[in-house]
Structure formats: structure tokens, C-alpha cells
Amino acid sequence: MGESGTPQQLHGRRIMMTPAERDDFLSRQRTCRVASVSADGRPHVTPLWFVWDGSALWLYSITRSRRWTELARDPRIAVVVDAGEEYGDLRGVELTGDVRPVGEAPRTGEPAPELASPEALFAAKYGFGDTMYHDGRHAWLRLDPLTLTSWDFRKLGGDFAR
């Protein structure tokens, strides 16, 4: 039985990451690009460090930033994490949805059970060791993705025309 769907859909299925590939990719990459909506409706994109816990993307944002202000006003967000230099090496994940703040803002380290896992992941990923560093300027935003799209052009094996 052959595959059904448009050529674009078939191509998309061929290059889609498995959940395990996606989780591994998101755990290794260090920087994402966050798109928020400004007050005049225009997109605003900024780089940011993040962690992925297998179901949610956690963003550690400066609370006095334009990004924080925009997301407090309108929580809709799109995030892209990507890698690769040559066309055949391109891979990435796009996540969309609404963010919500978690814990105190700015974060000073008050006990917050929901933050134990993302803070441990963040501290290990970005070289803080076993303890999360709190500077009183950042706070957590959690994105439980409504959509999650992935691609890995390496799966095409050099066959870029199909």
C-alpha cells in the first residue's frame, strides 16, 4: 500500500524527527529564537536560552525585557530551535502556543516544586553545576506546545529534489 498525501506532506513525513530524535535535539541545542507579538501587532524575535523537559519548553527571560512585556500582554509565542550549515544538514523544531509564567518574577530562588526539574536541567546545560543561579532579573516562562513541527534534512540522504 502506497503513502497518501500531497508531495509536500510526504516530504514532511520523511524528514520529521521521531519523538526521541526531537528530545535529543532539543536537549543538545543551546539557543532558541522566540517570536512574540508587539503592541502594534508586529512580530518581535529574540534569541534565548531554554530547556526542554520532554513535554514543555522552559524559557528563562529577563523580566524587564521587551519580550517579557509583550508575552505578559499577549502570551502567544512561536519558538524555533535549529541547526545546520549546508542544506542537507538542516534540522530543527518549531513550537507554538501560549506561555505562562511560573514561580516568582523576578526569580530569587523561593521554593517552587514545579521549577525543580527545569532549573536542574538549565543549571547542568549551561554550566552552573548542580545549583541554579538566580540573579533577581530573570523569571521562568513555560510553553506547553499546541503545535510542534520538526525537520531533519539529513534523512533525505542527499535526495533534495523529492
What are the pLDDT digits (tens) for 74-94? 999 999 999 999 999 999 999
Q: Domains in the chain and their CATH numbers?
A: 7-156 (2.30.110.10)
pLDDT number for residue 148: 96
- The pTM of this model reads 0.88
pLDDT at 9: 41
pLDDT of residue 85: 93
CB atoms within 10 A of CB 118: 24
